Structure 1
Amino acid sequence: MKPQLKVHYFQHIAGEGFGSCYEYLKGMNAKISATEFFALPIDLALDIEALPHVDDVDLLIIMGGTMSVNDEANFPWLKIEKRWLRRYLAQGKPAIGLCLGGQLIANALGAAVSKSPHEELGWMSVRKTAHVPAHCFPLPDEFQVLQWHGESFEIPKGAIHLAENDGCRNQVYQIGQNVLGFQFHPEITPHALNLFLETDDACERYTGAYIQSEGELKSSSKSKFIQGNQILNQAIAYVLQRTVAGQLAECHKA
Structure 2
Amino acid sequence: MHLHLLQHSPHHGPARIADWLDSMGHSHTVFHLYAGEAPPDLADCDALIALDGAMNIDDVATHPWLKRERKLIGRALDGNKPLLGIGMGARLIAAELGATVGRGTFAEVGWHEVTLAPESPFDLPEQFTAFMWHGDVFALPDDALPLGGSPVSPVQGFAWDAGRALGLLCHIEVTRAGVAELLDCEERPKGSDASPHVQAREAILADTSRFDRLAPLLDRLLSQWLRSTPA
- The answer to whether the aligner puts 1:113 opposite 2:109 as a matched pair is no
CA contact (8 A) 1:21 1:229 kept: no
Find the aligned partners of 2:106 and 2:228 in 1 and give their Cα distance.
Answer: 37
Q: 1:192 corresponds to which residue?
A: 178
Q: Which has the larger radius of gyration?
A: 1
2: distance between equivalents of 1:111 and 1:229?
Answer: 30
Measured in 2, the distance between the counterparts of 1:180 and 1:78 equals 19
Q: Which moved more, 1:86-95 or 1:233-242?
A: 233-242
Task: Tell me if 1:233 matches 2:219.
Answer: yes
Q: 2:124 aligns with which of 139, 142, 160?
A: 139
Aligned residues: 229
Aligned-partner SS, 1:173: strand
Query: What is aligned with 1:154?
Result: 139
Q: Is it true that 1:209 corresponds to 2:196 in the alignment?
A: yes
1:27-106 equivalences under 5 Å are: 27-40=23-36, 50-106=38-94
Q: 1:98 to 1:242 in 2, by over 3 A?
A: closer
Structure 2, unpaired ranges of 5+: none
Q: CA deviation at 1:232?
A: 2.3
| 2:149 matched residue in structure 1 | 164
Amino acid in structure 2 at the alignment position of 1:215: E
- Contact in 1 for aligned 2:133/2:189 (Cα 8 Å): no
The aligned amino acid for 1:126 is: V
TM-score of the superposition, structure 2-length normalised?
0.92
Does structure 1 retain, via aligned residues, the 8 Å contact 2:9–2:54? yes
Is the deviation greater in 20-29 or in 9-18? 20-29
Q: TM-score, normalised by structure 1?
A: 0.84
**2:111 equivalent to 1:123:** yes
State whether structure 2 residue 205 is matched by structure 1 residue 218. Answer: yes
1:73 CA drift (Å): 2.3
1:210 aligned partner, one-letter code? H
Aligned equivalent of 1:6, options 2, 5, 13 = 2
Shift of 1:204: 9.4
- On the 8 A contact 2:135/2:189 being kept in 1, the answer is no
Amino-acid identity (%): 28
